[in-house]
Amino acid sequence: MASKVGKILVVDDNLGIRRALEILLPMHFAQVKTIPSPATLVSSLEQFRPDVVLLDMNFNTSINTGNEGLYWAGEIKKMVPEVEVVLFTAYADIALAVEGMKRGAFDFIVKPWDNDKLVATLTAARDKARKAMKRDARSESVITAESPMFWGSSAAMKSIRKTLDKIAPTDATVLITGENGTGKDVLAREIHTHSLRSGKPMVAVDAGAITETLFESELFGHVKGAFTDAHTDHVGKFEQADGGTLFLDEIGNIPLHLQAKLLRAIQNRSIVRVGGSEAKPINIRLICATNMNLEQLVREGRFREDLYYRINTVHIALPALRERKEDIVPLAQIFLERFAEKYHRPLTGIAPEAAAMLTEGRWSGNIRELQNCIEKAVILSDGNELTAKDIQLEQAAKPVGTTIKAVSEAEEERMIRQAMDRTNGNISAAAKMLGVSRPTLYAKLKKYGL
């Protein structure tokens, strides 16, 4: 039996569950407190100061989120990041619990629970929380855009690596193209890391996400009083990247009338803050990326030809994951190891049949989709290696049909489930994938209770 150390806060609206845990948990932890709803959660966190919160996923409260467990898990991590959250969930909520772990929850326990597994999970969460408190910082293995580039063994990636070795030390402007999820941002950071500017900042901008009204302010900055709410001077992205690298992602989404302003700054190598008059010189290395066909946009008059040639000194086209099959399993193994550490799973490898099916997967979402698939599989796995069942290889390996017309209801439901899973619940994307309208897909989701 574990020593009685640590404080556990239980939040569950079921009186029977609270009473059962009030008997079980004090046998293993120094202090246990139970509350019936999140109504007093904030005050309990402040007064009780738990190491771990065992949090139910659903309550009868007025919060209209449709997912109270995720909401409150997020709030706990914002208020006290060092406190670990274990989600308490019914079988129907497992998908939500997986999402909760991806957002920072330590683990989840399914009701009805196994006492030994519950205690072991809470003990591990307690130990992590107490270690974090001692060093006043959490240590997690998180996959980010700053993860090192995985080059693999495909001919296409070997060629790109040779190109990178040649261009990285120069100041040549680079245009990176490729489908969503192929790692354009990772490649951009790799170029910066191997450049002579690596000691200076790399500033990344999602150019397509900036609203038109804020475009100039975000990129070029503004002076105090330039517009309503401009209470202080603001340094734009170009100035922030001075001496380093500016990465403009999704550049194909910039409206045509704003492209001229971007071109002017690139050509003049200077910017003027909104509301100002002084031209400020800038010294940047520019890297751009897009998943769009810029040549086609130029022909259609939707992208300036002069801007296209200005940003296209060197063009690197990243291949889709399905075009580099030999790299799929090694990538999956990297993700497995990182997520096994993050989610405290004793996983070491991928079963042969699972590896073979992974290799044949369609992976329309490329590396990002593979990463998401392995992350979910690691969370749900109970063994020492990932199996086809763990990673839901039937969904991953078989392509979604282009239309759901003229198929049986069983096949239709399967295709809809697969499309929703592959698009992470995005109705518009799933409808497009299935070849139907949004209203039609809504009706079919209701029909099958999805």
> Residue 344 falls within a domain, yes or no?
yes
> Residue 332 falls within a domain, yes or no?
yes
Is pLDDT of 93 > 80? Answer: no
Last residue of a domain, one of 319, 335, 364: 319
> Residue 149 falls within a domain, yes or no?
no
Q: Give the domain CATH number at 267.
A: 3.40.50.300
Is pLDDT of 22 > 90? Answer: yes
Among 442, 169, 122, 430, smallest CA distance to 314 is for 169
Last residue of a domain, one of 135, 170, 198: 135
Q: Give the domain CATH number at 443.
A: 1.10.8.60
Does residue 309 sit in the same domain as residue 356? no
Residue numbers of the domain that contains 51: 7-135
Q: How many domains does the chain have?
A: 3
For residues 348 and 385, give the distance between their C-alpha atoms in angstroms, rounded to a whole number. Answer: 6
Is pLDDT of 311 > 50? Answer: yes
Does residue 246 sit in the same domain as residue 383? no
Does residue 345 sit in the same domain as residue 372? yes
For residues 160 and 307, give the distance between their C-alpha atoms in angstroms, rounded to a whole number. Answer: 24
For residues 410 and 427, give the distance between their C-alpha atoms in angstroms, rounded to a whole number. Answer: 20
Does residue 423 sit in the same domain as residue 298? no
Confidence of residue 416 (pLDDT cuts 50, 70, 90): confident
Q: Give tens-digit pLDDT for 160-217.
A: 999 999 999 999 999 999 998 899 999 999 999 999 999 899 999 988 778 777 888 8
Does residue 165 sit in the same domain as residue 307? yes
- What's the pLDDT score for residue 382? 80
> Residue 238 falls within a domain, yes or no?
yes
Choice between 99 and 17, residue whose per-residue pLDDT is larger: 17
> Residue 78 falls within a domain, yes or no?
yes
Confidence of residue 411 (pLDDT cuts 50, 70, 90): low
Pairing label, strands 285-290, 385-386: unpaired
Single-letter code of the amino acid located at 359: T
Examine residue 281 and say whether the peptide bond preceding it is cis (omega within 30 degrees of 0).
no
Average pLDDT for 263-275: 91
- What's the pLDDT score for residue 123? 92
Does residue 93 sit in the same domain as residue 205? no
In SS3 terms, 208-276 reads as HHCCHHHHHHHHHCECCCCCCCCCCCECCHHHHCCCCEEEEECHHHCCHHHHHHHHHHHHHCEEECECC
Query: Of 38-42, 48-52, 434-438, where does the model show the most confidence?
Result: 48-52
- What's the pLDDT score for residue 86? 93
Task: Calculate the average pLDDT of the chain.
Answer: 83
The SS3 of residue 87 is strand
Whether the CB-CB separation of 430 and 438 falls below 8 Å is answered with: no
Is pLDDT of 401 > 50? Answer: no
Locate 440 and state its tokens.
């039609």
Does residue 267 sit in the same domain as residue 365? no
Single-letter code of the amino acid located at 347: L
Does residue 434 sit in the same domain as residue 327? yes
Average pLDDT for 209-233: 82
> Residue 334 falls within a domain, yes or no?
yes
Buried-exposed string 348-387: b where 16+ CB fall within 10 A, e elsewhere: eebbeebbebbeebbbbbbbebbbbbbbbbbbbbeeebbb
Among 55, 65, 42, 67, smallest CA distance to 106 is for 55
User: Cα dihedral sign for 379, 381, 383, 386?
Assistant: negative
Q: Give tens-digit pLDDT for 24-48.
A: 999 999 899 999 888 788 878 878 8
Does residue 309 sit in the same domain as residue 359? no
- What's the pLDDT score for residue 396? 41
Single-letter code of the amino acid located at 438: R
Is pLDDT of 2 > 80? Answer: no
Locate 301 and state its tokens.
């008059």
Average the pLDDT over each of 125-139, 237-251, 271-285 and give the range with the smallest value. 125-139
- What's the pLDDT score for residue 145? 39
For residues 101 and 73, give the distance between their C-alpha atoms in angstroms, rounded to a whole number. Answer: 9
Does residue 160 sit in the same domain as residue 289? yes
Confidence of residue 147 (pLDDT cuts 50, 70, 90): low
Q: Give the domain CATH number at 41.
A: 3.40.50.2300
Is pLDDT of 334 > 50? Answer: yes
The SS3 of residue 308 is helix
Does residue 289 sit in the same domain as residue 175? yes
Is pLDDT of 360 > 50? Answer: yes
Confidence of residue 424 (pLDDT cuts 50, 70, 90): low
- What's the pLDDT score for residue 353? 87
Choice between 132 and 307, residue whose per-residue pLDDT is larger: 307
Average pLDDT for 418-440: 71
Task: Name 401's Cβ contacts closer than 8 Å, sequence gap at least 6.
Answer: 407, 415, 434
> Residue 147 falls within a domain, yes or no?
no
Q: Give tens-digit pLDDT for 290-310.
A: 999 999 999 999 999 999 999
Last residue of a domain, one of 277, 300, 319: 319
For residues 207 and 204, give the distance between their C-alpha atoms in angstroms, rounded to a whole number. Answer: 9
Does residue 173 sit in the same domain as residue 294? yes
Is pLDDT of 138 > 70? Answer: no
% pLDDT > 70, the chain: 86
> Residue 146 falls within a domain, yes or no?
no
